[in-house]
Amino acid sequence: MNDILIPIIERLDKIESLIKKTTTSKSKLMTIKDVAEYSSLSQMSVRRAIHKGTLKPFKDIGKKLFKKDDVDRWLNI
């Protein structure tokens, strides 16, 4: 019985580590406040970038949300 459980536990550990990798900060959604803190810019500067179209929110209706990857791309421009 233990011979069967050990490979199953090892597989579950691998699955868990894969899930953790895919849910890291790369997939994190950020608010305008988060983007401002992350970029060391003011919230007004972030709002200007949105208005100019250089930073596009992932979710535009209601609270604006941004993918961290998109914010990183915007900061590298």
Each residue of 1-47: pLDDT tens digit?
556 767 777 887 887 776 766 555 456 899 999 999 999 999 999 99
Note the CATH number of domain 25-77. 1.10.1660.10
CA-closest candidate to residue 35, choices 17, 44, 10: 44
Cβ contact 58:29 at 8 Å: yes
The torsion angle over the Cα atoms of residues 74, 43, 38 and 34, rounded to 10 degrees, is: -110
- The pLDDT, as a whole number, for residue 33 is 96
pLDDT at 64 over 80: yes
- The pLDDT, as a whole number, for residue 47 is 96
- The pLDDT, as a whole number, for residue 36 is 96
What does the DSSP 8-state code read for residue 55? S
Pick the more confident residue, 57 or 60: 57
